[in-house]
Amino acid sequence: MSSLFTVGETMGLFGALAIGRIEHVASFGFGIGGAESNVAIGVTRLGGAATWLGRLGSDATGDMIARRLRAEGVHTMDIRDESFTGLMVKHRRTGETMQVDYHRAGSAGSRLTPADIPSDLAGASLLHLTGITPALSDSARAAVFHAAETARASGVAVSFDLNYRSKLWSRFDAAPVLRDLATRADVLFAGPDEAELIVGAAGTDLPAALAALGPVEVVVKDGARGCTALLDGVPAKLPALPVTVVDPVGAGDAFVAGYLAARLAGWAAPDRLRQAVAAGAFAVTVPGDCEGLPSTSELDDMSFVDVRR
């Protein structure tokens, strides 16, 4: 069975339940958040199989994360660590802006090492990595590169989402690392700004410039402007779908999950993109980091799009 393996940090997520200054918010929801685990959940909800590996603290938040992932059907390889499970705090200052703060320096997730990566990648046919994990620590960066090399040596396809986070490292420090990882990818996802970080100035054909690094499937995610792609040498472009945005956090992960789930299922390139766009559109209509990730039946019920093959 085709399946996905991913590795990274999943954190506890405090989300403000009202709009305004954080000191005026009376209540918060508590959930989980992490790009890699979001993708794993998204793939399983769309009928695929996924494994997530990461380090969690031996604390209540770590326990909750492990339970939530397993409840979603994700095969969870949680390595318990003596450090704490990281946290993120999300709030809306206005109805139009979202702010996310991280509390993860020295966290269990940042203590990932190459020795944590299984030599068989849990039997997966696709490895998914992001540019977040290599920003966490030297050992986590080494683990990501080791996972990519393990996959390449085993003939496992590598998916990489640049996911640059300015709160974790500078553009100067990130660019060479992200570029190096992009050269190891078969499938590459990036936003326009992220793409320019590793291939140069704006105004270029970003999918083509990224594909020149080596990936055979390149998708540039551009939010409300849709996406452009170069898939096996064939250019493609899809507009965003018309929805009311409630929470944009996690939309990129939903997009990636939609694409990769379709790829694991053997769908043709145009159908992969359609499902990716639909999944991203669905996700922004629901508050939360992974809560809005759609199931197959929910995408089928969307009145404005048909993502079936």
Distance CA 231, CA 89 (A): 36
Give residue-wise pLDDT tens across range 94-118. 877 778 889 999 999 999 999 999 9
Q: What is the pLDDT of residues 134-193, one digit of tens each?
A: 999 999 999 999 999 999 999 999 999 999 999 999 999 999 999 999 999 999 999 999
Q: Are 56 and 109 in contact (CB under 8 A)?
A: yes
Confidence band of 306 (pLDDT split at 50, 70, 90): low
Q: How confident is the model at residue 246 (pLDDT cuts 50, 70, 90)?
A: confident
Active site residue 253: yes
CA angle 116, 119, 123 (to 5 degrees): 110
Please name the residues in contact with 177: beta carbons below 8 A apart, sequence gap of 6 or more: 131, 134, 141
The pLDDT assigned to 243 comes to 81
Distance from C-alpha of 144 to C-alpha of 129, rounded to nearest angstrom: 7
Using alpha carbons, list the distances in angstroms from residue 222 to 225, 227, 299.
5, 5, 21
Question: DSSP secondary structure string, 58-119?
Answer: SSHHHHHHHHHHHHTT-EEEEEEESSPPPEEEEEEEETTEEEEEEE-TT-SGGG--GGGS-T
C-alpha span between 60 and 67 (Å, rounded): 11
**Domains in the chain with CATH codes:** 3-301 (3.40.1190.20)
| Residues 169, 212 contacting (CB under 8 angstroms) | no
Q: Of the listed 81, 161, 247, 253, which one is catalytic?
A: 253
CA angle (135 as vertex; 130, 140 as ends), nearest 5? 80
Helical H runs in the chain?
Answer: 35-45, 60-71, 138-154, 171-182, 192-199, 206-211, 251-264, 269-283, 296-301
Strand order in the sheet with 217-221: 75-81, 49-57, 3-7, 126-130, 157-161, 187-190, 217-221, 227-231, 234-238
Angle, vertex CA 81, rays to CA 80 and CA 82, nearest 5: 135
pLDDT at 18 over 90: no
* Residue where the block lists tokens 């939360």: 288
Task: Tell me the pairing of strands 126-130 and 3-7.
Answer: parallel
**Segment 66-78 mean pLDDT:** 97
Averaged pLDDT of the chain: 92
What would the mean pLDDT of 248-261 be, rounded to a whole number? 89
Give 138: exposed, middle or buried? Use CB within 10 Å, 0-12, 13-18, 19+. exposed
Residue 309 pLDDT: 45
Tell me the β-bridge partners of 29. 15
